[in-house]
Amino acid sequence: MNASQRSDTAARYAASAELSRILESGLVHTSFQPIFDLDSMSVVAYGTNTRGPHGSPLESREALLAAAAESDRMVDFDTVSRTDAISTAERSGLSAPRSLFFSAAPSTIAGLADDEAALAHPMVLEIAGHTLVDTDLAPLLRAIVHIRDQGWAIAITEVGVDPHTLALLPAVAPDVICLDLKIISELPDQRLASVLSGVSAYAEASGCLVLAHGVETEQQVLTARALGATLAQGPFYGGAGALPATLPYLSGVRPAPSGRLAGLRQDTPFSVAAERREAHISNRGLLLQISLFLEARAAVEGDSALVFATFQHRDNFDDWAVERYYPLGRTAAFVGAFGHGFDELTLSDSVCAVELDETDPLVAEWNVVVISPNFAATLAARQLGEPSPTNDTYEFILTHDRRLTIEAARTLVARL
């Protein structure tokens, strides 16, 4: 080991030791930055920023985060940060639900979903979009479903850093999409157009809010509005600091109208689609051709596609289905396959197999749902009469309506 390597090792050891001192003694402190509603020009919530103690080499948030990541202590860091943010806010009289934005790593979220004491304080959970890419998505989505059920809202930040983020929006179902003006301004024109188109399409279909981060000037306020933002945060509206002595009335962030997954476990893609579209009668042959078309379109969309398919029973996921869905799983952002008896399947990591209880109404359905920033379609079919391999009659709906497709997908995400 040369002198430079010894120096790096010593620095990492010192940072790890300082991190332990800070976390174990609860020495972090939280500052709060207001988030404004651009229509009413009133504060609706506060973003939280966790720092180390004054004079510490880990005083800045960036240094503290880097040390936590290096030491594999992100869960400890997030837990201590959240506890301090909540206690500081409550001492100041801030207790409105979803009036605090709190960021957490995916590794923290599963534990948060099991922490009933923490969930009793509904916040807006911020998840950095790029962190979703290398995450096992199914357990993360299950945790998000439960967290949202407890009254929390979900925000996705850094949209645009990784193209996969846009693809995953319908699965995560954020109530808030956060656009960082600095990141946006540095994107190539074609990439910028793709991001803004994807965000606009999702926001219009879901009713979610768009928050502009980093607003510094009046001109950037106009830019934020042009990007579809209804919320804004940045130096133009006030920096991070202590909460004011007299708090304004805070409405908090309201979950998107269609963003809540609670209750959707009783719905199915067909029940959602049938509320707004007329069903037609068909047999397996036509449904298979439509399914093959949608699967082919998903393959064209590549890593920007989400694919959900229901097969009713284990026997329907035969060798031919495996030949079609395994390649999709290797290229798409996420592929989920649902059916009764699927707990007996041994699938590759590229396809998420979801077991359905035999009493689940989804067992009577044949569905293929494909969503990407540029494409959305749902085949929703329900078997008429008693479900059986010999029953060849279905009522079906084929729709390219993005809102309906997102709602159909959410009924399946709720079952992960």
pLDDT, mean over the chain: 89
Q: At 263, is the pLDDT very low, low, confident or very high (cuts 50, 70, 90)? A: very low
E-assigned strand segments in 120-194: 124-128, 153-157, 176-180
The whole-number pLDDT of residue 257 equals 60
Asked whether 298 and 269 are in contact (CB, 8 A), the reply is no
% of the chain residues with pLDDT over 90: 63
DSSP state at residue 228: T
Q: Best-predicted range by mean pLDDT among 173-187, 230-244, 384-398?
A: 230-244
**Model confidence over 210-237: pLDDT tens digits?**
999 999 999 999 989 988 999 999 999 9
- CATH fold for domain 3-237: TIM Barrel (3.20.20)
Residue 389 scores a pLDDT above 80: no
Point out the least confidently predicted range of 8-17, 136-145, 302-311.
Answer: 8-17
Chosen CATH of 264-413 out of 3.30.870, 1.10.357, 3.30.1330, 3.20.20: 3.30.870
Task: Evaluate whether 173 touches 132 at the Cβ level (below 8 Å).
Answer: no
- Whether residue 365 contacts residue 257, with contact meaning beta carbons closer than 8 Å, is answered with no
What pLDDT sits at residue 187? 78
pLDDT at 118 over 60: yes
Q: Give the model's confidence band at 261: pLDDT under 50 very low, under 70 low, under 90 confident, else very high.
A: very low
Instruction: Determine the Cα–Cα distance for residues 274 and 378; give it in Å rounded to an integer.
Output: 12
pLDDT of 416 higher than 80 = yes
The CA dihedral of 341, 342, 343, 346, to the nearest 10 degrees, is 130
Could you check whether 3-237 and 264-413 share the same CATH topology? no
Lowest mean pLDDT across 123-127, 184-188, 321-325: 184-188
Residue ranges of domains in the chain: 3-237, 264-413
Q: Are 35 and 44 in contact (CB under 8 A)?
A: yes
> In this predicted model, what pLDDT tens digit does every residue of 19-47 receive, in sequence order?
999 999 999 999 999 999 999 889 999 99
Residues 337 and 317: their CA atoms lie apart, in Å, by: 9
Contact 331, 301 (CB under 8 A): no
pLDDT at residue 5 in the model: 58
Classified as helix, coil or strand, 74 is: helix
